[in-house]
Amino acid sequence: MRHAPIDPQFFISNRRRLMRLLPPGSIALVNANDIPPTNSDGTLRPVPNSDLFYLTGVEQEESILLIFPDADDERLREILFLRETSELISIWEGHKLSREAARETTGIRNVQWISEFPKFLHRLMCEADHVWLNSNEHKRADIVVTSREARFVRGLQERYPLHQYHRLARLMHRLRIVKQPTEVELLKQACAITRDGFERVSRFVQPGVSEHEVEAEFAHEFIRQRGNFAYNPIIASGPNACILHYNDNDRPCRDGDLLLLDVAANYANYNADLTRTIPVNGRFTQRQRQVYEAVLRVLRASIAGLKPGTKPKHWQEAAEEMMARECVDLGLLKTSDLRENPEDPMKRPVKKYFMHGLGHPLGLDVHDVGFTTEPFAAGWVMTVEPGLYLRDEGFGVRLENDVLITDKGPVDLMADIPIEPDDIEKLMA
């Protein structure tokens, strides 16, 4: 665990809130993620299951959480099952959670080794009527491999076919979309590390450095502060900025280029998400500044539009209307284009220059879970990331901040990260 310990009361509270959503006679089960394989005998670093971490703080493979609020034996109402360690495992893989350490981390008193799971499960399934199982229900997920959770669901349904099975993701999405105070503080920490990385890079960038060298500067600052990259960094100079998910990061940064930096830190599994666009030589050209200030105006107005009760799709539409007017002023669209409103939103004229979403929920996942067909509510954290991509002119501008929605107005969690063009130039100087 690279990050500082988190108060177990946070995880205890999260489990209690989940229990209140479960109907009588319900068991809920959450598995750790698989360790991702690569080639030969290689593996990637394990990625903690977000729901398991949210409910327990456990990041270890082969872990299972069982919650059964109505269990007759009070000791069996929440049980954490862990992979049992050994001297051989400690030599080859290092530290694993002991049962006592797991109790301190999670606040769960009943911690068992995973070998005991079938016995406890059968006993409690005989008492239960409803079983809540997890799955990846993110709308944009392209699921092409069978996960540990999916294998578990299939095996359990084969063994106990007469129970009533339910989708735990529906409950977890409702819980996780509203951030608790502890989560907001962790997100602020991720944003602070991101700020320091951005300021370091802004002082480093000059004509001749390579995109991969810029990536290395971010890595130095993030890891130095006990963080990681929240996602694959996008370091896109010149025309590369018009590739939305550019990841090659191998082009030299040239005099006169803009450099789009979509890079942010992860801290304690919570993610920031930042985009800034800076001039490689430290000074915007007149045209670059015009486009930059247009995007910045849309960003400012869109942050102000993050109000409880507003639907995300209406927020997106308002930003597209603003951006379309900016495109007219920039000579990219004609006034007549503003009247075009085809049924397919992707065919609107502005989409040639601003073709992606305005923002998404943020938290334990960069594209965090939640019901984005419902109106915004206090406690959501949203990214705000308008952009303009001028392929014919060889550059793009995207700006992005992370914003907490409250009943008293939006709170910009990245307000202290330079964004005004004059501030960017001053920082780079």
Residue 385 bears catalytic tag: yes
Residue 160 bears catalytic tag: no
Residue 398 bears catalytic tag: yes
Catalytic residue among 62, 257, 385, 402: 385
Q: How far is CA 239 from the centre of its chain?
A: 27
Catalytic residue among 17, 220, 283, 356: 356
Catalytic residue among 273, 283, 287, 339: 273
Residue 273 bears catalytic tag: yes
Q: Where are the alpha helices (DSSP H) in 33-80?
A: 50-56
Residue 20 bears catalytic tag: no
Structure tokens at 12: 């205890």
Catalytic residue among 183, 400, 402, 412: 400
Under 8 Å between Cβ of 363 and 179: yes
Q: List the one residue out of 265, 107, 306, 270 whose CA is nearest residue 185.
A: 270
Catalytic residue among 15, 195, 276, 360: 360
- How many angstroms separate the Cα of 130 from the Cα of each of 68, 141, 165, 187, 419? 10, 27, 6, 35, 51
Catalytic residue among 16, 151, 245, 254: 245
Catalytic residue among 51, 251, 389, 412: 389
Burial of 14 (0-12, 13-18, 19+ CB in 10 A): buried
Residue 163 bears catalytic tag: no
Under 8 Å between Cβ of 240 and 186: no
Catalytic residue among 353, 398, 402, 412: 398
SS3 199: helix
Catalytic residue among 51, 367, 368, 412: 367
Residue 262 bears catalytic tag: yes
Catalytic residue among 41, 142, 158, 344: 41
Catalytic residue among 59, 149, 221, 262: 262
Q: List the one residue out of 249, 189, 242, 190 whose CA is nearest residue 216.
A: 249
Catalytic residue positions? 41, 245, 262, 273, 356, 360, 367, 385, 389, 398, 400
